[in-house]
Structure 1
Amino acid sequence: MKKVIIAEKPSVAKNIADAFKIKGRKDGYFEGDKYIITWAFGHLLQLYDAKDYDENMKGWRLEKFPFIPEDFKYKIKSDSKNKSVQDKGATKQLNIIKSLIDREDVESIISATDYDREGQVISDELFIYYDVKKPIYRLLLNEWTEKEVKKGIEKLKLNSEMKSLQDAGVGRQIADWIIGINLTSVATLRYGFEDNKIINIGRVLLPTLKIIYDRDKEIENFKKTSYYKFVQNFKTKNNDEFDTLYYEENEKFESKEYLNEIKKAIKDKKGKIVNKEVEKKREYPGPLFNLSNLQGHITSKYKGWTSDKVLKVAQSLYEKKFTTYPRTGSIALEESLVDRAKNVLEKIKVGLPYEDQIKFVKSKRVFNNAKVESHSAITPTYVRPSKLTPDERIVYEAIKNRFIMQFMPVAEYEETKIIIKVDDEKAKGEFRKNGKVQLVEGWKVVEKMKSKDTILPLIEKEELLDVTDGKVNKVTKKPPKHHTEKTLLRVMETCGKSYKDDNSDKTDGEESEENTEKMMNAILSGFSIGTPATRAETIKKLQYIGYIKAKGKSLVCTDLGKTIVEIFPAKELLDLEYTGKLEKTLSDIEKGKFEKSEFLNLIFQFTKGAVEKIKKDTSLLHKFKVKLPEGAEEIGKCPICGNPVIEGNKAFGCINWKNGCKYTIWKDDKYIASFGKKVSKEMVRLLLKNGKVGFRNLKSKRGNLFSAYFRYELNKETGYLNWKMEFI
């Protein structure tokens, strides 16, 4: 009897076939003595469209939403160019997979899709669609080398043990369908006034857009401030000169004149070194790459790279067996991988100019189960690559170098801090200087990292120095920088938690251990926007749909993107905290801590509320310009959208009603009638012209007569128009 193995892609199926020396290639599968290996092409199935559940959903109308099916069903995915027909390639491969599963000599199925939320769903949706009854097992691997494939086949799990991962994947799929279908449809009907433009709304799209919008606003509202600093040079007895910075409470001063007075007062005097501290420090390399850090590293270092391109290249290296699984959030390796990592290091260090400095050590910085989220960090495998494309070489070398750096000597430097005082009553403060001298280059030799250290001359405490040139400089505080893919990915990864963007151009290795620790804690909590697998796609989609654009390496909002953020009424979707909680809940479902049904109920309730808010939103109705019907008389302009108000049989109303404008005054309005008055054309004309209309001889409930103005205003909370009265 045989087993059918289903891989996520043809390239992975070939890796599995190679591991078992299976050469028999058929149409859509490989076949050997024990195993038949076939493949998907990612998702072969998709959730039903709304119209598949109900024919009436073909045409979008506001009153048809919210639309939430009772059961969610799968169908063969649509052709990318013609959505009304099935994808021919998917249909053919599905038929092949079904025929292999149904073969009488097949006893069981092994799912070998990627070990993550999406990978689990890619195979599980096939088993649900075909109602597979044969035993199903799960192959869980982090790389596709021969050794790992064989080892994994010996340690198969029952697919039923992956129920929590399936629930998280299906929960994510349905949640995004519900939010996307409902809110995109209703938002397009309400706001898509230009060339019938689709207004895309998504659970991950909007908060990501909001991060970029907030930074743009910060820059736009930035007020330039200036201060002065005093740079003073000193000369040693050996004529070595160096500069220092003057401090009192700090190095920033409001008055230029004040600093010029000090400069003048100390001219030609002596400075005395009152303190000198020398400290040896150690500098560790940046941690192993997770996907976001790899994307940030490459996009900031190489021109023309996007995070989406980095993911595609990393995925290619993984499928070619040269690196491990790329869609990971971890920056450490599982402790069980010590022997594997040692073997990889011994293979890939051969022939390097610094080979003798590379020594395998088991450390908590590299091997730490507490810092591993689903998958270990990205590393090379023992398979040394050949025939890499230029792009593959860039990404592979980055991954390989970061791995090797972990087993190189720690970089060491000597930091010297000196404080100089000048004996003058006007110079109340002190002159400070820090200098660094690299003692051990260590891991920095791997990427030939040049040190920008200031080297101080040989000087001792109590030594006297000559005061030489001094300069008072004006410093204008710069606005924050626009987000780049690197900084955006970091905020998405941690939902802004424990992330401080200081606008510096620090290298990955210069991030503090404390910062890395905080970042990892945020990632491990699951509190993020999207997943490592989806963030690059989100950034790419925001550009494609026209919400953001690239300016060099910077990302900025377009006018459409700004408008969406400013007018979209379901503010929860723009809130990082809310989106982070949704992603955290999915992470908890994956860990068996939360039920999929409870999560989906939250999504359903949110969607219903959001649809109603969008329906009631009138902020962009003025963008729709409607022609006056032939023969109709314009009584005035609608105060909500600016289109004409005309008289009908039963009411005076705005002609923009098809697009959702609700401005209507009924002729038999009960509120006006309660005061003994009627709604007339002249009354409506005055109301539209002046914003209010006055009445005399109004009759109160007690029969008293009085005069008052009436206003007819939209309540933005309820979406209804109400009369408001003010006494004359």
Structure 2
Amino acid sequence: MSKTLVLAEKPSVGRDLAKVLKCNQNKGAYIEGPNYIVTWALGHLVTLLDPEGYGDKYKKWSMETLPMLPKEMKLTVIQKTGKQFNEVKKQMLRPDVSDLVIATDAGREGELVARWIIEKAGFKKPIKRLWISSQTDKAILDGFKNLKPGAAYENLYKAAQARAEADWIIGLNVTRALTCKYNAQLSAGRVQSPTVAMIAQREEEIKNFKPKDYYTIIGNTSDFSIEWINKDNTNRTFDESLAKKIVGAIRGKDGDVTEITETNKKQYAPALYDLTELQRDCNRIFGYSAKQTLSIMQRLYENYKILTYPRTDSRYVTKDIVPTIKDRLKAISVANYAKSATEILRGNIVASKSFVDDSKVTDHHAIIPTEQRVSLGILSSDERNVYDLVIKRFLSVLLPPFEFIQTGIKVKIGDEIFIAKGKVITSKGWKMVYDKVDDLEENSEEGMLKEQVLPKLNKGAKLKINNIEIKNHKTKPPARFTEGTLLSAMENPQKYITIDKESAKTLGETGGLGTVATRADIIEKLFNSFVIEKRGKELVPTSKGKQLMELVPKDLKSPLLTARWEKELDDISKGKTNVRDFIGRMRNYATALVQDVKFSTDKYTHDNLTGKKCPQCGKYMLEVKGKNGVMNVCQDRECGHRENVSRVSNARCPECKKKLEIRGHGDGEIYVCASSTCNFREKSAQFQKRFDGKGKVDKREVNNYMNKMKKEAEDFNDNPFAALLGGMKFDGK
């Protein structure tokens, strides 16, 4: 009897599929049942061959061998996961396998994961595609009842392959050119370079900013305050003498109420979450990095199955989701969500265009709860935080608008006009799901009076003005990026750079720099290659990052390049553009970029040299700040030796419970309390002995931390391009 082979992207998803498809024979690398065999990748099992694979001449990094333009790009099995590839291939070549279902993530990269494995394994039998947005049993069953032919996604595969090949051709050639030219480890790419350029440009704007004094005039009655406005309807003046003249002319005078307005206003709930908006809010509210939010979301989607697919760029759902809303509401009717969910279920659910719009959904709809009932008790605090944001946003769009009466008062004192604004809430509407009505209030602009509770007044009333005062303010420089605001800038770079209208339109249509699925990894890569660092929550370019922006070809620093790419890739996925033409242009472009670097007269200098010599090659080490601490790395890129100086751990001080820093390396590694008032310090070996079940420190927490550090080290070496950069390690050069 023939069987269908199902290829998932990860073991956890494979297990879920196997359970639904009644496969119960677990063979380690696959799970078999009477009709299906479910196997899985471990992310990518196959990748593009690195340059060294195209000939010995590429083993040595040299300007003479650039540009590297293989006639045909070849695939290779990733050594680290080669064993799993062989197991998958074995199942593909079984004589009783009649066809294959691609069940990797439903998106461009997920398509590439599967198709490269299929191509490398030489699988030639019929292919179908599972395309689902949540991992519940019901979604999987429905998906298998509605499998799509593999041919329907052929163009999506072509677009994914074109993106990968173009990144190889451009990224590796420019990276090798910069590294060889300046004998320092410098990398560039069509997404990372414009992202660093925006951070560096913002730093330059802050450095060159010259604050200006401006003045506002405030009048105080016994009940409320009023602010002066000029003839242009603004509340400020840069002329101090004018402010003094106005105050001098009206001091001691009463005010006349010349106008009172009361307007009924409605405020509708913000749109549902896509990944970028969720990452932004998690960074702003909880301080989570983009990568951290995605990781938490992935668990809520894959492991708990209580939220839908995270890597989405849509904030709307499709019409076919509307009949499932009641079941989703029943699933979340627990704890503090029950009241709002019950109220919505009692009424009629209206499929408003504010959240239901098929035309605004591409691969996946907005992030919403699934029909799987939630058990809040099993979620960690981080998982609960992210889940809470998504559920409140989901409930919000289903509730009535927030309604209030906006009150405005205009007061004349002498010849000058003053105003005050207030608000009376008439219906909480969707804001009932938030703890306080003010939770989502926008901050008032610097120097502006906030809304107040205003007394009942009549037009023509006289106001006793107790005092008039001038308040002095200074204009502020633009704020540095945080991870949250950087995600906004990557999504809409046209708002952060000066470009023509046509280019801004292109950027707006193509979704900016990177995709919702890749932005978190790009930001992590910038930290790992030491071109940006954190100061508190703020992101700043390092000296290396600033210099790199001077050395990278101008074209590569512009977000317009990636916008044009994404437009063409989108056209390829729709069958409108020939993939070979696109790759041909990329090859020509890589040649031009290499020439640009080759003939540059710029210089690069290390200004983070330490007085410590590398124990392996004797050259002076560089001090670099990673995301989790400080390390010394050898300045010689061929050597690549690195040592930890200090990093913040998740282990807690046994005395004051604050987080401990790990300083030094090897036998000299010690744990030191990060608190300035605590003197705890202990050798690493001694500290580990505390974990015998009797000590005060949580053994599980420290073990988790150790595993986390190990994984971070692996991720660091597995970052995009790392496998392709041969012997070159991502150090601080």
TM-score category by the smaller chain? 0.7 to 0.9
Give the counterpart letter for 2:368 in structure 1.
Answer: T
Q: Which of 342, 353, 356 is equivalent to 2:339?
A: 353
Residue 578 of structure 1 deviates from its aligned partner by 2.1
Q: Which of 351, 357, 366 is equivalent to 2:355?
A: 366
1:6 partner SS = strand
Which digits, 9 at most, give the CA deviation of each residue in 1:388-418, with x for residues without a partner? 2222111111111111111122111111111
Alignment partner of 1:381 is 2:383: no
Change (3 A) 1:241 1:102: closer
Residue 589 of structure 1 aligns with which residue?
572
2:576 partner SS = coil
Residue 579 of structure 1 deviates from its aligned partner by 2.1
Q: Which of 228, 232, 243 is equivalent to 2:226?
A: 243
CA contact (8 A) 1:373 1:524 kept: no
Q: Distance in 2 between the 1:229 and 1:211 partners?
A: 33
Alignment partner of 1:300 is 2:300: no
Residue 524 of structure 1 deviates from its aligned partner by 7.6
Alignment partner of 1:93 is 2:84: yes
Residue 309 of structure 1 aligns with which residue?
292
Give the counterpart letter for 1:29 in structure 2.
Answer: Y
Residue 24 of structure 1 aligns with which residue?
25
Give the counterpart letter for 1:47 in structure 2.
Answer: L
Residue 171 of structure 1 aligns with which residue?
162
Q: Distance in 2 between the 1:598 and 1:449 partners?
A: 56
Residue 11 of structure 1 deviates from its aligned partner by 0.6
Give the counterpart letter for 1:49 in structure 2.
Answer: D
Residue 249 of structure 2 aligns with which residue?
265
Q: Distance in 2 between the 1:61 and 1:257 partners?
A: 66
Residue 353 of structure 1 deviates from its aligned partner by 3.4
Residue 609 of structure 1 aligns with which residue?
592
Residue 354 of structure 1 deviates from its aligned partner by 3.4
Q: Distance in 1 between the 2:604 and 2:204 partners?
A: 25
Alignment partner of 1:572 is 2:555: yes
Which of the two has higher C-alpha Rg?
1
1:120 partner SS = helix
CA contact (8 A) 1:495 1:580 kept: no
Change (3 A) 1:544 1:498: closer
Q: Distance in 2 between the 1:254 and 1:367 partners?
A: 47
1:420 partner SS = strand
Alignment partner of 1:134 is 2:125: yes
Residue 700 of structure 1 aligns with which residue?
none
Superposed counterparts of 1:199-598, under 5 Å: 199-235=186-222, 240-249=223-232, 250-303=234-287, 305-320=288-303, 321-350=305-334, 352-359=338-345, 360-386=349-375, 387-422=378-413, 424=414, 428-451=415-438, 453-497=451-495, 525-568=509-552, 570-598=553-581
Comparing 367-376 with 344-353, which one deviates more in the overlay? 344-353
The gaps in structure 1 that reach 5 residues or longer are: 78-85, 501-519, 625-728
Comparing 252-261 with 571-580, which one deviates more in the overlay? 252-261
Change (3 A) 1:276 1:499: farther
Q: Distance in 2 between the 1:214 and 1:622 partners?
A: 20
Residue 384 of structure 1 deviates from its aligned partner by 2.4
Which digits, 9 at most, give the CA deviation of each residue in 1:355-377, with x for residues without a partner? 44325321111110121132111
Q: Distance in 1 between the 2:238 and 2:382 partners?
A: 50
Comparing 339-348 with 365-374, which one deviates more in the overlay? 339-348
Residue 611 of structure 1 deviates from its aligned partner by 0.2
Which digits, 9 at most, give the CA deviation of each residue in 1:59-105, with x for residues without a partner? 0111100011011111111xxxxxxxx22xx2221121112122222
Change (3 A) 1:157 1:584: same
Change (3 A) 1:232 1:543: same
Residue 603 of structure 1 deviates from its aligned partner by 1.1
1:137 partner SS = strand
CA contact (8 A) 2:45 2:77 kept: yes
CA contact (8 A) 1:6 1:123 kept: yes
Q: Distance in 2 between the 1:621 and 1:5 partners?
A: 51
Residue 497 of structure 1 deviates from its aligned partner by 4.9
Q: Distance in 1 between the 2:496 and 2:177 partners?
A: 36
Give the counterpart letter for 1:556 in structure 2.
Answer: V
Residue 521 of structure 1 deviates from its aligned partner by 9.0
Residue 495 of structure 1 deviates from its aligned partner by 2.9
Give the counterpart letter for 1:354 in structure 2.
Answer: S
CA contact (8 A) 2:507 2:563 kept: no
Change (3 A) 1:215 1:499: closer
Residue 95 of structure 2 aligns with which residue?
104
Q: Distance in 2 between the 1:148 and 1:260 partners?
A: 69
CA contact (8 A) 2:218 2:225 kept: no
1:467 partner SS = coil
CA contact (8 A) 2:229 2:419 kept: yes
Residue 499 of structure 1 deviates from its aligned partner by 9.8
Q: Distance in 2 between the 1:218 and 1:523 partners?
A: 23
Comparing 472-481 with 585-594, which one deviates more in the overlay? 585-594
CA RMSD of aligned residues (A): 2.1
1:258 partner SS = helix
Change (3 A) 1:242 1:621: closer
Give the counterpart letter for 2:181 in structure 1.
Answer: R
Q: Distance in 2 between the 1:287 and 1:108 partners?
A: 41
Comparing 160-169 with 524-533, which one deviates more in the overlay? 524-533
Give the counterpart letter for 1:357 in structure 2.
Answer: E
CA contact (8 A) 1:226 1:477 kept: yes
Residue 644 of structure 1 aligns with which residue?
none
Q: Distance in 2 between the 1:494 and 1:242 partners?
A: 38
Which digits, 9 at most, give the CA deviation of each residue in 1:127-173, with x for residues without a partner? 11122111111111111111111111111112122111101110111
The gaps in structure 2 that reach 5 residues or longer are: 442-450, 499-503, 608-733
Give the counterpart letter for 1:211 in structure 2.
Answer: M
Change (3 A) 1:462 1:325: same
Superposed counterparts of 1:142-181, under 5 Å: 142-181=133-172
Residue 243 of structure 1 deviates from its aligned partner by 3.1
Residue 105 of structure 2 aligns with which residue?
114
Change (3 A) 1:121 1:251: same
Which digits, 9 at most, give the CA deviation of each residue in 1:561-610, with x for residues without a partner? 01111232x21110112221112221222222222112212211111000
1:471 partner SS = strand
CA contact (8 A) 1:113 1:119 kept: yes
Residue 635 of structure 2 aligns with which residue?
none
Give the counterpart letter for 2:422 in structure 1.
Answer: G
Q: Distance in 1 between the 2:479 and 2:245 partners?
A: 35
CA contact (8 A) 1:164 1:591 kept: yes
Q: Distance in 2 between the 1:355 and 1:622 partners?
A: 60
Q: Distance in 1 between the 2:13 and 2:169 partners?
A: 32
Q: Distance in 2 between the 1:241 and 1:571 partners?
A: 55
Q: Distance in 1 between the 2:383 and 2:21 partners?
A: 27
Residue 116 of structure 2 aligns with which residue?
125
User: Aligned pairs, how many?
Assistant: 581
CA contact (8 A) 1:490 1:499 kept: no
Q: Distance in 1 between the 2:192 and 2:219 partners?
A: 51
Residue 638 of structure 2 aligns with which residue?
none
Q: Distance in 2 between the 1:469 and 1:593 partners?
A: 69
Q: Distance in 1 between the 2:505 and 2:542 partners?
A: 34
